[in-house]
């Protein structure tokens, strides 16, 4: 939880996070020990509540087909729809895919300074 907001994520967050860390190592941005430490900290601290993606799979596929966008991102949209909350993202590609669609109201861009 951050403040009073509960953070939710589908269970695909773990392999996606590990893949992002691997990518940073592959690009030379961090060393393997930093990647392992970052993942260990997330797994220990668990800053979000994880929901199973299995019940979201059919809706995620329908969303992906509608938006012509990968299911891996669509599962986050399916979770937001199922939970009646909003997806906050810095993923410009996802924001463009959702823009003007019936799912626009589910997404809020993460603004960073």
Residue pair 77/63 in contact (Cβ under 8 Å)? The answer is: yes
- pTM greater than the 0.75 cutoff: yes
Residues 44 and 71 in one domain: no
Residues in the chain where the model's pLDDT stays below 70: 1-3, 112-113
Please indicate, yes or no, whether residues 40 and 70 belong to a single structural domain of this protein: no
pLDDT at 1: 45
- 20 shares its domain with 57: no
pLDDT digits (tens, 9 = 90+) for 6-34: 899 999 999 999 999 999 999 999 999 99
CB-based burial, 80-107: b 16+ in 10 Å, e otherwise: bbeeeeebebebeebbebbeeeebeebb
Q: Based on the structure, what is the number of domains in the chain?
A: 2
Residue 109, token pair as written in the block:
């861009």
In this predicted structure, what is the pLDDT of residue 72?
93
Q: What is the rounded distance in angstroms from the CA atom of residue 24 to the CA atom of residue 39?
A: 13
User: Which range of residues forms the domain containing residue 6?
Assistant: 1-48
Does residue 108 share a domain with residue 57? yes
């Amino acid at each position: 939880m951050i403040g009073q907001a509960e953070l939710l994520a589908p269970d695909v967050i773990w392999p996606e996070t590990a893949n992002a860390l691997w990518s940073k190592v592959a690009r030379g941005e961090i060393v393997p020990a930093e990647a392992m430490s970052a993942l260990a900290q997330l797994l220990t601290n668990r800053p979000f509540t994880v929901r199973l993606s299995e019940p979201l799979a059919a809706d995620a596929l329908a969303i992906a087909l509608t938006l012509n966008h990968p299911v891996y991102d669509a599962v986050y949209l399916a979770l937001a729809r199922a939970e009646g909350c909003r997806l906050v993202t810095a993923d410009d590609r996802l924001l463009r895919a959702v823009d003007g669609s019936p799912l626009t109201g589910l997404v809020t861009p993460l603004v960073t300074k």
